[in-house]
Amino acid sequence: MSNPRDVAVLVGSLRKESLNLKLAKALAALAPPQLKLDIVELRQLSMYNQDLDENPPAEWVAFRDRIRRADAVLFVTPEYNRSVPAVLKNAIDIGSRPYGQSAWDGKPGAVVSASPGNIGGFGANHHLRQSLVFLNIPVLQQPEAYIAGADKLFDEQGGIANESTRGFLSKYLTTFAGWVEKNAAK
């Protein structure tokens, strides 16, 4: 495909050695040619404060513009206390405001959660989906992606070490590409 769909990838962890950042990079390498996955940095975003909506910080404006330019959004998140990490929730709030001007509106999306634990970030995945439904983001329903054992997921080059997980994630991204094509603005 000559013009792949632009997918803004939001990672719910700021840690330098974040397993979810590693996963986002591995997903970008596995993406089918119809998709170009681009990790969007969140660490520069100050906490959302409605008082600033009339004169928003430059980083909020740049973030909102980046989301508006994207054809789709992929959320890659760990689970903090059975929910979404604050940095990701803050980015969602910034992108959704001011009221009636949401950058998320109608953008197809998908959620991948990853954790060293056995349930692969299930709680964060589902909490995030609740917010995305409200924001009118058509979210890929199947397959669901809860990646357990993320601390053992990567080879020395940062790729997915386990062949069956790599196969699953490749299939997931191919399905997501179809979802984006079906739901993205024409």
Average pLDDT estimate for 48-72: 97
Residue 152 contacts residue 119 (beta carbons within 8 Å): no
How would you class 81 by CB atoms within 10 Å of its CB: exposed for 0-12, middle for 13-18, buried for 19 or more? exposed
Which pLDDT score, from 0 to 100, does residue 119 have?
A: 86
Q: Is the pLDDT of residue 185 over 90?
A: no
Q: What global pTM score does this model have?
A: 0.96
Return the exposure string of 116-145: e unless at least 16 CB atoms fall within 10 Å of the residue's CB, then b.
eeeebbbbbbbbbbebbeebebbbbeeebb
Which pLDDT score, from 0 to 100, does residue 43 have?
A: 96
Average pLDDT estimate for 47-76: 97
Which pLDDT score, from 0 to 100, does residue 120 have?
A: 87
Alpha helices in 70-100 (DSSP H): 86-96
What single DSSP character describes residue 92? Answer: H
Token pair recorded at residue 6: 């632009």
Say if strands 109-114 and 145-147 run parallel, antiparallel, or are unpaired.
parallel
- Report the top-level CATH class of 5-181: alpha beta
